Amino acid sequence: MIPISRRIAAISESATIKVDRRAKELTAQGRSIISFGTGEPDFATPEHIVDAAVAAARDPRNHHYSAPSGLPELRAAIAEKTQRDSGLDIDPSQVIVTNGGKQAVFEAFATVLDDGDEVLLPAPYWTTYPESIALAGGTAVEVFAGADQGYKVTVAQLEAATTKRTRGLVFVSPSNPTGAVYTEQETRDIGEWALAHGLWVLADEIYQDLTYDGVRAPSIVSVVPELASSTLLANGVAKTYAMTGWRVGWLVAPPAIASAAANLQSHLCSNVSNVAQHAALAALTGPQDAAHDMHEAFARRRAVILEQLRAVEGLHVPTPDGAFYVYADVRALLSAERGEGMPTTSLELADDLLEHAGVAAVPGEAFGKSGYLRFSYALGDDDIREGIKRVRSFVDSRSPGDLSRT
């Protein structure tokens, strides 16, 4: 047999996709499964976006190759959004349109990392970051912040994790998986620290439009403008516009980095689908009413799931200020003293919830450390209530006695 390369063999499967696949398998077997697993809005893509794609599909100009970096009109629209929402004035030539946000993240690391470079990775983190860093030859250095810190790392923690091989920092606000949002002062402190250490920053802003209760998620380049020459921004239309399946993201980078990433993309995939690019253009430049309505629905669902989860004894549930996830601290449920009925890791707990309660959630092991469960609230209100009711029934049946919430 032809051996698999060590670098590819070392990649772990996406835990969120794994959970979703198992949930769908059980559903296909006739089981009633409520999935809080994937970060995917349950809404249809707004109609005007679909109409733009249909029109684009009928236009013969879109039946051929286009520029690897993206359609000029879409890159211009992304530059306008970046100025408006991230406070960064860029030329459209600094935009690389990618096949979803994952490709933007992969290309960012592939472009700036050399073998052995270390990247500070605040945890809990999205599952794709460490794998993309490793594929680029780098090493992810985890910096963990638990529920007691609101899942937000401090400058002191970053400083303690820094070595002579540290080259970069991943900064994500709002966060997947926690929904945590760094304040302007927290963002400034981290940005100024990164600037002083000469680090480049990858800022993933895919959830920047999804914040609640008047909270803002300031871009790190808007509060520390001097970082503009050493910051790469990843973003896309998937979350705000319910376009996960359309696969359109982008990378914004300093000119030299953007040119190198464009060269990589020219060999990697040529151009992103022209039809999908026209759909993304309609999303960014067209009516925003549907996006606003989806945002309001997420805000309502957030209130529902927080109320429901906080009624489950033994869970500690910080309030997420952004994205559409709740990251529950379940460590009080995992004590071996609870007897044979309760698991001792969040991975075991997630497996038991899926197999015995019909509820899919993603365990903390997927995001860096055991003891937590991620629940997406990008699903209907009734499903949220029924799903958490099942969680509560499962916990009540398996863990007699008082459970500490600390």
Domain assignment of residue 350, yes or no:
yes
381 shares a domain with 314: yes
302 and 178 fall within a common domain: no
Domain boundary among 285, 316, 336: 285
**pTM of the full predicted structure?**
0.93
List strands edge to edge, sheet with 362-363: 325-329, 372-376, 362-363
Taking every pair of C-alpha atoms in the chain, what is the biggest distance, in angstroms?
68
277 and 298 share one domain:
no
Residue 345: DSSP 8-state: S
Are 229 and 324 in the same domain? no
Q: Give domain status of residue 93, yes or no.
A: yes
Among 267, 285, 303, the domain boundary falls at 285
What is the C-alpha radius of gyration for the chain, rounded to an integer number of angstroms?
A: 21
Task: Indicate whether 160 belongs to any domain.
Answer: yes
Co-location of 329 and 382 in the same domain: yes
Residue 123 shares a structural domain with residue 243: yes
How far, in Å, CA of 315 to CA of 310, rounded? 7
Residues of the chain with pLDDT under 50: 336, 402-406
Q: Within this chain, do residues 273 and 297 fall inside the same structural domain, yes or no? A: no
Write the pLDDT tens digit of every residue in 180-192: 999 999 999 999 9
Report the CATH number that the domain containing residue 34 is assigned in CATH.
3.90.1150.10
Q: What is the DSSP string of 254-307?
A: -HHHHHHHHHHHHHHTSSPPHHHHHHHHHHHHS--HHHHHHHHHHHHHHHHHHH
Q: What is the pLDDT of residue 262?
A: 96
The token pair that represents 377 in the structure block:
């609230």
Q: Which of 285, 307, 338 is the last residue of a domain?
A: 285
Q: Is 58 contained in some domain?
A: no
Verify that 296 and 277 share a domain, yes or no.
no
Has residue 205 been placed in a domain? Answer: yes
pLDDT, residue 147, reads: 95
The per-type count for the chain, helices as H runs and strands as E runs, is 14, 12
Which one-letter amino acid corresponds to residue 17? I
Do 269 and 305 share a structural domain? Answer: no
The answer to the question of residue 406 being in a domain is: no
136 in the same domain as 27: no
pLDDT given for residue 338 in this prediction: 56
In angstroms, the CA 277 to CA 53 distance is 8
CA distance 135 to 165: 17
Domain that holds residue 343: 6-44+290-398
Residues in the chain: 406
CATH number of the domain that residue 132 is part of: 3.40.640.10
Give me the long-range contacts of 210-216 (CB less than 8 A, separation at least 24): 210/174, 210/239, 210/240, 210/295, 210/298, 210/322, 210/323, 210/324, 211/174, 211/181, 211/321, 211/322, 212/298, 212/299, 212/302, 212/321, 212/322, 213/321, 215/181, 215/321, 215/322, 216/181, 216/184
Cis peptide before 174 (omega within 30 of 0): yes
Q: Measured in Å, how far apart are the chain's first and last C-alpha atoms?
A: 52
- If asked whether residues 240 and 148 sit together in one domain, one would say yes
* Residue found by looking up tokens 């509560």 in the block: 392
CA distance 49 to 245: 13
Total number of domains in the chain: 2
Same domain, 242 and 302: no
With respect to residue 1, please indicate whether it lies within any of the assigned structural domains.
no
